[in-house]
A = this chain, B = another copy of it.
Amino acid sequence: MLKKIPEETIVRLSYYLRALLYFKEKETPIISSKRLADFLKISHHQLRKDLSYFGQFGRKGVGYSCSKLIESIRDILGLNREWSACVVGFGNLGRALSFYRGFKDEGIIIRAAFDINENKINKDYPHLKVYSLDKMEKVIKKENIQIGIIAVPKTAAEEAAKKLCTCGIKAIFNLAPVKLDVPKEIILKDVDLSCQLTSLTYHLKNLETKQ
């Protein structure tokens, strides 16, 4: 528990959690690291090492109780409680994120979306309302929103981030293709789909030249 925990370990814990939910549902109450790791196409060493950063969760010679390990990982990731999020930018990507069930299953609830487009705002969806940007501060405070998801075009991303920060957000999940400037106490995670996709063409090109 004293050593530095790799960020990749944290992300993998999410994978473990999801797989465990599947196994608990589908198959067996007890699972070995080998079985779980095979399912996720990683090594069982890695899985056990990742868990060992946080404690001991299995029984030697036996394996892990799915439901107990699920609870433990939920504790570690802070998913034993609800978190409130909002989406900035209600285009296709923003909508996709707003309605994605997977977040909700993990206790991350998207309470509000913001956009500048008059045609999009003030619309009510089952568990979500779309507001204009100038309502941000009020809504974030009222709903106690901690996480901001940026899904605006790149030219608007920096401004969206600034606004989220001044409204008291604690973490930003940025899907816009820009490196944001945010105060260091803000937890920031970038996912740049375009850069990830482009890495495929590199490998495709090399595949061709090898042949």
**Is A96 in the interface zone, CB < 8 Å from B?**
yes
Of all chain B residues, the one with the shortest Cβ separation from A83 is: B201
- Which residues of the other chain, B, contact A78 by a CB distance below 8 angstroms? 201-202, 204-206
Give chain B nearest CB distance to A96 CB in angstroms.
3
Cα distance, A195 to B102, chains bound together (Å): 9
Q: How many copies does the complex hold?
A: 2
When the two chains form their complex, are residues A199 and B99 in contact, meaning their CB atoms are under 8 A apart?
no
The A164-211 residues at the B interface (CB cut-off 8 A) are 170-171, 173, 177, 179, 187, 189, 191-207
**Is A132 in the interface zone, CB < 8 Å from B?**
no
In the complex, given contacts A78-B201, A79-B201, what are 20 additional A-B residue pairs having Cβ atoms less than 8 angstroms apart?
A10-B199, A15-B192, A15-B195, A18-B195, A39-B179, A41-B179, A77-B199, A77-B202, A78-B202, A83-B204, A92-B93, A92-B96, A95-B96, A97-B193, A106-B198, A107-B201, A108-B198, A147-B197, A170-B204, A170-B207
